[in-house]
Structure 1
Amino acid sequence: MRQRRLGNSDLNVSEMGLGCMSLGTNEKEAARIIKTALDAGINYFDTADLYDFGRNEEIVGKTLKSVRDQVVIATKVGNRWNESKDSWSWDPSGAYIKKAVKDSLKRLATDYIDLYQLHGGTTEDNIDETIGAFEDLKKEGVIRYYGISSIRPNVIKQYVKKSGLVSVMMQYSLLDRRPEEWMPLLSENNIHIIARGPVAKGLLSDKMLEKASTTVKEQGFLDYSYAELEELLPALKDKLSPRYMNEIALQYVLSHKAVGAVIPGASSIQQLRENCRALNAAPLSEEEITLLKKLTKASTYEAHRD
């Protein structure tokens, strides 16, 4: 599988990573999916301390322990479960980050984290304190690099200006092209986008509208009404035939040099293999990319702007 250098780091990550949130808590099944990903050439695995109360990190760490020096492990911090574990609060403080990283290291069965990401962020946060904590951990060798997971333009701009982050995780797909507005800024600063949600909750998979939830049927998806989706999705499939839908989706996201990796989730080996097939297909032509941009909406973020 092709790899890309992530931002200004020395992390070479497979163009498709494995988003581990949907692995579930069945350790044997999750391990089978992770090992299938390894066999396919995937070396980048993304988890978070929030997922399954830390159980996700434990499974990822245990499964990857024997190949630790061959993989890139990314996790996230900032969302703090309450004692009853029925809700969480936001805590980007330096003290909490330095405490949480120790817990993640233990669960991941490793002594360093390749990419440590702030799992959100607001302009009300003490951003300098948060950056200071990440820089301290980097100096200590506890983390190699850090990034943020945020779609808020005003937050992203502050971190680009003040920090040494190498990546920004953002929801990005043909149905959510909002990150394209920020690609020039990120590219100028040698920061890569890590694209989550590339198949738009399954709408850009071959099942298309079969994956539409009740909410999508009633309210649409972002800037698209359900009626628009009924018209658009078959048109995408038809005009780019014989390509598969998830092939179109993943290849479109990766056609942008500002993207370091795409991380679709996989809850089954079949789903993972379909994504690998899509990724290994021929890249989109300039004509195909132009057509896709013409058919879809180039939206922008309306909230959280300066």
Structure 2
Amino acid sequence: MKKQRLGHSHLQVSELALGCMSLGTDEKVAHAIIETALEEGINYFDTADLYDFGVNERLVGQALTSVREEVIIATKVGNRWQEGKDGWTWDPSKAYIKEAVKGSLQRLQLDYIDLYQLHGGTIDDPIEETIEAFEELKKEGFIRAYGISSIRPNVIREFVKHSAIDSIMMQYSLLDRRSEEAVLPLLREHGVSVVARGPVAKGLLSDHWREKIKDQGYLDYSAHELKELLEKLEQLTTNEHSLNGLALRYLLHHESVASVVTGASSAQQLKENVRAVKEASLSTQEYKALQTLTKAAHYNQHR
């Protein structure tokens, strides 16, 4: 599988990343999915300390320990479980980040984390302090690169302008093109990579879209609009491009997108995504046709 450089770092990530949140807590099932990912050429695995009270990090660490030098392991920080584990609070403080990384390293069975990401963020956060924490962890050798997972343009702008950030994980798909206007030009200018999450829009951009449409629609699309659009997109499919292939290749056509991250609850589901991402790159004509059919939406909040 093709690999791309993540920001200004030395990390080379596969075009498809495995989002580990949906692995579940059954060790045998989780390890089988991760093993399939490795067999298919995926080297980029994304987890978070929030998932299943840290169990997800443990499963990912156990499954990848024998191939540690061949993979990129990413995790996230900032959501702090309450004592009774019935909810969490947001804590982007330097003190918490530098303490939390120790727990992630232990659960993942790692000496260092390849990509450490802030798991959200608001414009009211102590951003300068947060950046200091990541920079110190990098100098101390606990992390190789850092990024944030955010859909807020105002937060993204602050990190891009005031830090040596390498990546932004953001929601981005053919059905959610808000970032194209709000942040992608800035990221391209500064050489910051995008890791696109939600690339198949909860299964709407797949062969199973008819059973995925909800009465409330999706973002700016009503259920009726979705049906009309997806029927038109389906007409663009060929022997070279499936519907989810069009969806993934559309994102990877943009030079700032280093990888698309999809979850998988089974090895078969993962193989479908691998097949899709390995389809041919889009031509300029195909790319423009997809842009013409879909809405170029805008962020109305967090500008």
Q: TM-score range by the shorter chain?
A: over 0.9
Distance apart, 1:300 and its partner CA: 1.2
User: Which residue is equivalent to 2:68?
Assistant: 68
Runs of 4+ in structure 1 off by over 2 angstroms are 239-243
1:236 is matched with which residue? 233
Offset of residue 240 of structure 1: 3.0
Matches within 5 A, 1:1-306: 1-181=1-181, 182-212=183-213, 216-217=214-215, 219-242=216-239, 243-305=241-303
- Provide structure 1 residue ranges, at least 5 long, that are not aligned to the other structure: none
Q: Which moved more, 1:40-49 or 1:179-188?
A: 179-188
Secondary structure class of the residue paired with 1:17: strand
Contact 1:48–1:56 (CA<8 Å) still a contact in 2? Answer: yes
Q: Structure 2 CA distance, aligned partners of 1:262 and 1:31?
A: 21
Q: Which secondary structure does the structure 1 equivalent of 2:180 belong to?
A: helix
CA distance in 2, matches of 1:295, 1:84: 48
Distance 2:31 2:270 in 1: 13
What SS does the aligned partner of 1:263 have? strand
Contact 1:168-1:193 within 8 A present in 2 as well: yes
Partners of 1:2 and 1:267 in 2: how far apart?
Answer: 23
- Looking at structure 2, the residues matched to 139 and 234 of structure 1 have their Cα atoms a distance apart, in angstroms, of 51
| Contact 1:195-1:259 at 8 Å conserved across structures | yes
Q: Which amino acid aligns with 1:238?
A: Q
Amino acid at match of 1:140: E
Secondary structure (helix, strand or coil) at the match of 1:301 reads coil
Query: How far did residue 188 of structure 1 move?
Result: 0.9
In the alignment, the residues of structure 2 paired with residue 13 and residue 254 of structure 1 have an alpha-carbon distance, to the nearest angstrom, of 13
* Deviation for aligned residue 1:298: 0.6
CA RMSD of aligned residues (A): 0.8
Residue type of the alignment partner of 2:229: L
Query: What CA distance in whole angstroms lies between the structure 2 residues aligned with 1:290 and 1:240?
Result: 15
Between the aligned partners of 1:12 and 1:260, the Cα distance in structure 2 is 9
Does the 8 Å CA contact 1:14/1:261 hold for their aligned counterparts? Answer: yes
Question: By how many angstroms is 1:296 displaced?
Answer: 0.1
CA distance in 2, matches of 1:134, 1:7: 16
Q: Amino acid of the residue matched to residue 263 of structure 2?
A: G
What is the identity, as a one-letter code, of the residue corresponding to 2:261? I
Paired residue type of 1:96: Y
Structure 1 length-normalised TM: 0.97
3-state secondary structure, aligned to 2:16: coil
Q: Secondary structure at the match of 2:64?
A: helix
C-alpha distance in 1 between matches for 2:264 and 2:81: 25
SS state at 2:116 partner: strand
Instruction: Give the CA deviation at 1:220.
Output: 1.3
Mapped to 1, the partners of 2:86 and 2:205 lie a distance apart of 32
SS of residue matched to 2:262: coil
Contact 1:240 1:288 in 2 (8 A): no
TM-score, normalising length from structure 2?
0.98
Q: Deviations over 1:226-257 (max 9, x none)?
A: 11001111110113334311111111111111
Structure 2 unmatched ranges of 5 or more: none
Identity percentage of aligned residues? 63
> Aligned partners of 1:196 and 1:23: how far apart in 2?
16
Tell me if the contact between 1:24 and 1:56 (Cα under 8 Å) persists in the aligned partners: yes
Residue 209 (structure 1) shift = 2.3
Letter paired with 2:206: S
Looking at structure 2, the residues matched to 159 and 290 of structure 1 have their Cα atoms a distance apart, in angstroms, of 31
CA apart distance, 1:21: 0.6
Residues of 2 paired with 1:152 and 1:245: CA distance?
28
